[in-house]
Structure 1
Amino acid sequence: MHKGSCLCGAVTFEIEGDLSAPDACHCSKCRKQSGHFFASTDVEKDRLTLKGAENITWFQSSEKVRRGFCTTCGSSLFWDPPHRDWIAVAMGAFDGPTGTGLNKHIFVAEKGDYYDIADSLPQNQQ
């Protein structure tokens, strides 16, 4: 069981089972949403239990994706393609160790110019 929350605790979540290896998205939308790149793990929606869902604001950032954040503290929590059976959960929202490690970088063609990607993980331009 993995647990997490937003900064103020108005939104909490639990995920049953192991987490898949997260990716780091460097696209301009994720950078603007999170303030840097957005690291997240994909979780089947039926494994996610939310408390305080009424405190989540969903922003439709494209036709295919909405982004969820805490209405009170603004913590970036979710990247949700509603037409899929999974949701991406922000790695920074987990409490304690996750037992995972980044597996790749995506949308590196859009990364900020103020940092370098210095690890040896795969980098997808899109």
Structure 2
Amino acid sequence: MAHQGSCMCGAVAFTIDGDIATGNACHCTSCRKQSGHYWASIDVPRTALAIQDADHIRWYQSSEKVRRGFCDTCGSTLFWDPVFQDWTSVAIGALDSPTQMRLSLHIYVSEKGDYYDIADGLPQNET
């Protein structure tokens, strides 16, 4: 099954070829600062991700191991890309609905913001 997604303005669109059953929510400080809250994403094999108009993606190298991709027109956060892996995290919010998926895990909850609670009953990893 193929899933479609895009940034807010439509300058960047992408297709994920395959199933996307579950995602995770990262509460680390970097993800919160980048997204404005926590980062909800799905990990997709790079071979299953096709990006149209990739020339509109700007990459920010947030660490030695990770770069973060966003639209250069509207600023939508789209990708978290561990450069030494064979997968990319894709923002769940950028997927066209319905996604038919659920979150399965919260990570880096030791860094979560103090302005919200996690009360959905999902597993929570400190890191």
Q: TM-score range by the shorter chain?
A: over 0.9
Q: CA RMSD in A?
A: 0.6
- 1:115 is aligned to 116
2:29, 2:84 → 1: CA distance? 22
How far the C-alpha of 1:87 sits from its partner, in A, is: 0.3
Unpaired runs of at least 5, structure 2: none
The count of residues paired between Structure 1 and Structure 2 equals: 126
1:107, 1:57 → 2: CA distance? 25
- 1:76 is aligned to 77
Which stretches of structure 1, 4 residues or more, deviate above 3 A after TM superposition?
none
- 2:96 is aligned to 95
The DSSP-based 3-state class of the residue aligned with 2:33 is helix
Unpaired runs of at least 5, structure 1: none
- 1:6 is aligned to 7
- 1:40 is aligned to 41
When normalised by structure 1's length, the TM-score is: 0.98
When normalised by structure 2's length, the TM-score is: 0.97
Instruction: Judging by fraction of residues, say which structure has more strand.
Output: 2
The DSSP-based 3-state class of the residue aligned with 2:103 is coil
**Identity across matched positions, percent:** 62
CA contact (8 A) 1:3 1:95 kept: yes
